Amino acid sequence: MTSSRVYGVLASFTSVEGIIEAAKAVKEAGLTKWDCHTPFPVHGLDKAMGVKMTKLPWIVLGCGLSGLALAIWLQWWTNAVDYPFIISGKPLWSIPANVPIMFELTVLFSALSTFFGMWMLNRLPRWYHPLFSVPSFRRATSDRFFIVVEADDPAYQAPEIKALFEAQGAATVEVVEETITNTDWPPKIKFAAWAAAGLLMLPPAFVVKAKFSTSETPRLHLVPDMDHQPKFKAQAASSLFADGRAMRMPIDGTVARGELVANEALHTGFLGGEYVTEFPLPVDEFLMERGRERFNIYCTACHGVSGLGDGMVNKRAQEIVSPLWVPPLSLHAETVISQPPGQLFQTISKGVRNMPGYAQQIPVRDRWAIVLYLKALQRSQSGSLDDVPLQLRNTIR
């Protein structure tokens, strides 16, 4: 289904002066739907044609400021709010370190909007243009200057316009006919486009599914070299050493770091085979405070904040009726209260029944601090009004 219609009158000029003068004449003639086509931007032609200043800079300014806002928000939200972590002692929200990316995103957004905004305002890409069917128009990108008045112009009168161009000394003047072809897409292409669009929806669909479902299998590791590293684990065998062990014994006459027992009472809680009854280190408020902190970190999970044995682990074990669970003693039981500090220290260090030893996790001083706090905790549960200093008694309700 093809038909043809007149597109407009096309004239060509050989010089810059010619096109500028012609453009002035066309503008004076009051035509509105017309344009010049030149191989390079001709200085002064905008003025001759009366082209209005583009609004592109405003678009760019807007997008640039959005880029800046995005950069500020992104860095603040990700590093200071959603996933706060301290890096090289810098504040979570450290503006000097955020400036480079603020700058980059401002420029990036501005540049993208300049590029795409320009094509959008020019309504390009448009791979078809009626003038492309004119063989001589090919010189518009080489060395000829064209001017075209479209037939859609309300003041369009082909003979008058031709006369006007000829009066301006046009090299060629011709009336351009445009062939109108069916612009619908062929069914095959249409089908392919729909199919492609459908396929493109698949990955996001999988993402959505993954978000709302749980998986029983561990995730796929394409490169498993960090999951399965060639290394020896503790207590493993090794053919490298004569004794067949991967682990090495300490060399005779050496003490491993942190394993020196310089002070028997302090490091073991024993003195001469007896549990110590006095704290083998100075007791002060700092130690007490430290003990409270450590106790709340290490002990409360099972023993509970109050020491009654009602920690979260115990609660959950009761709930699921674990057959292996031995409930922790209340730390306020008489058997515990009667234990000397040395014994408590020993228990923390080596463990008892189901409780593991904590010597690896908690340094010696911190274990004593916990013992100290525990003693205080026990006092707090068995104390009487007389224990409270006089001036504070009336604050107790």
Partner 1 sequence: MTSVHSIPTGALEGVHAGEKLSGLARISLLIGMAGLALGAWLGWSGGEAEMRHFWFSYLVAFAFLLTIGMGALFFTMLQHAVGAYWSVVIRRIAELTMANFPLLALLFLPLLIPLLDGHGTLWPWAGHHEGGDPGHAALLAHKEPFLNVPFFLLRIAVYFGVWISLARWFLRRSLEQDLTSSPTPTVRSRKWSSPGIIVFALALSFGAFDLLMSLNPAWFSTIFGVYIFAGSFIGNCAWMILCARWLQNRNLLTNQINVEHYHDMGKFLFGFVFFWGYIGFSQFMLIWYANLPEETMWYKDRITPAWESWSWFMVFGHFVIPFAGLLSRHVKRSRFGLLFFACYALFMHWVDMYWVVMPNMNAPSLGGPADGGSNPFGLMDVAVTVGLVGIFVSCFARRAAKHPLLPVKDPLLADSLAFENA
Partner 2 sequence: MADGVAAVDDPIRKPPLVQGENDFASVTDIVCQVSETPKPPKAWYVTFAAALGLLGALGASIVYLISTGVGVWGNNQPVAWGWPIVNFVFWVGIGHAGTLISAVLFLFRQTWRTAINRFSEAMTIFAVICAGMFPAIHVGRIWVIYWVFPIPNQMEMWPNFRSPLLWDVFAVGTYFTVSLLFWYMGMVPDLATLRDRATSRVRRMMYGVFSLGWTGSNRHWHRYERAYLLLAALATPLVLSVHSVVSFDFAVSQLPGWHTTIFPPYFVAGAIFSGFAMVLSLAIPARELWGLKDLITTRHIELMCKVILATGMMVGYAYSTEFFVAWYSGNRYEGFAFINRAFGPYWWAYTLMVSCNVLVPQIFWFKKMRTNMWVVFIAAALVNVGMWFERFVIVVSSLNRDFLPSSWHYFTPTAIDLLTFLGSFGLFLTLFLLFCRYLPQVAIAEIKGVMPQAHAGHGGSAATASDSPSGQVPPEGVK
- Binding residues for partner 1, rule: CB under 8 A, are 88-90, 96-97, 99
Closer to partner 2 at the Cβ: 125 or 250?
125
| Coarse DSSP helix, strand, coil percentages of the chain, rounded to the nearest 5 percent | 50, 10, 40
Minimum CB–partner distance for residue 82 and partner 1 (Å) = 23
> What is the full DSSP assignment across 306-362?
TSSS--HHHHHHHHTT-TT--PPPPTTSHHHHTS-HHHHHHHHHHEETTEEP-TTTS
Upper half-sphere CA count for residue 317 (Cβ side, 13 Å):
17
Closer to partner 1 at the Cβ: 98 or 300?
98
Binding status of residue 87 toward partner 2 by CB under 8 A: yes
Binding status of residue 98 toward partner 2 by CB under 8 A: yes
Contact track, partner 2, 118-147, x by CB under 8 A:
xx-xx-xxxxxx-xx-----xxxxxx--x-
CB atoms within 10 A of CB 133: 13
Closer to partner 2 at the Cβ: 117 or 291?
117
Total chain residues near partner 2 (CB under 8 A): 74
Closer to partner 1 at the Cβ: 20 or 170?
20
Minimum CB–partner distance for residue 140 and partner 1 (Å) = 24
How far apart, in whole angstroms, are the C-alpha atoms of residue 15 and residue 143? Answer: 9
Question: Binding segment for partner 2 among 50-58, 265-273, 339-347, 371-379 (CB under 8 A)?
Answer: 50-58
How far apart, in whole angstroms, are the C-alpha atoms of residue 165 and residue 171? Answer: 9
- Which token pair is 385? 């009004």
Q: Are strands 34-37 and 145-150 parallel, antiparallel or unpaired?
A: antiparallel
Binding status of residue 94 toward partner 2 by CB under 8 A: yes
CB atoms within 10 A of CB 186: 9
Q: Is 141 helix (H, G, I), strand (E, B) or coil?
A: helix
Closer to partner 1 at the Cβ: 89 or 204?
89
How far apart, in whole angstroms, are the C-alpha atoms of residue 218 and residue 228? Answer: 14
Minimum CB–partner distance for residue 43 and partner 1 (Å) = 9
Minimum CB–partner distance for residue 16 and partner 2 (Å) = 5
Closer to partner 2 at the Cβ: 41 or 250?
41
How far apart, in whole angstroms, are the C-alpha atoms of residue 113 and residue 120? Answer: 10
- Which token pair is 369? 């601090």
Binding status of residue 69 toward partner 2 by CB under 8 A: no
Q: Which does 89 bind (CB under 5 to 8 A by kind): partner 1, partner 2, none?
A: partner 1
Minimum CB–partner distance for residue 216 and partner 2 (Å) = 16
Contact 379, 294 (CB under 8 A): no
- Which token pair is 346? 């020993």
Q: Which parts of 25-44 interact with partner 2 (CB under 8 A)? A: 35-44
Q: Which does 187 bind (CB under 5 to 8 A by kind): partner 1, partner 2, none?
A: none
Closer to partner 1 at the Cβ: 118 or 359?
118
Q: Which does 39 bind (CB under 5 to 8 A by kind): partner 1, partner 2, none?
A: partner 2
Structure-derived torsion over alpha carbons of residues 219, 224, 230, 234, reported in degrees to the nearest 10: -10
How far apart, in whole angstroms, are the C-alpha atoms of residue 187 and residue 193? Answer: 10
Minimum CB–partner distance for residue 336 and partner 1 (Å) = 49
CB atoms within 10 A of CB 190: 11
Phi, psi of 175 (to 5 degrees): -95, 130
Pick from 253, 348, 335, 338: nearest CA to 295: 348
Whether the link from the prior residue into 125 is cis, omega within 30° of 0, is: yes
Binding status of residue 100 toward partner 2 by CB under 8 A: yes
Binding status of residue 114 toward partner 2 by CB under 8 A: yes
Minimum CB–partner distance for residue 110 and partner 1 (Å) = 12
Q: What is the helix (H) or strand (E) element at residue 3, kind and residue range?
A: strand 3-13
Closer to partner 1 at the Cβ: 86 or 392?
86
Closer to partner 2 at the Cβ: 84 or 383?
84
Query: What is the length of the chain?
Result: 397
Minimum CB–partner distance for residue 118 and partner 2 (Å) = 4
Binding residue for partner 2, selected from 25, 29, 112, 352, defined by CB under 8 A: 112
Question: Binding segment for partner 2 among 112-120, 227-235, 322-330, 355-363 (CB under 8 A)?
Answer: 112-120
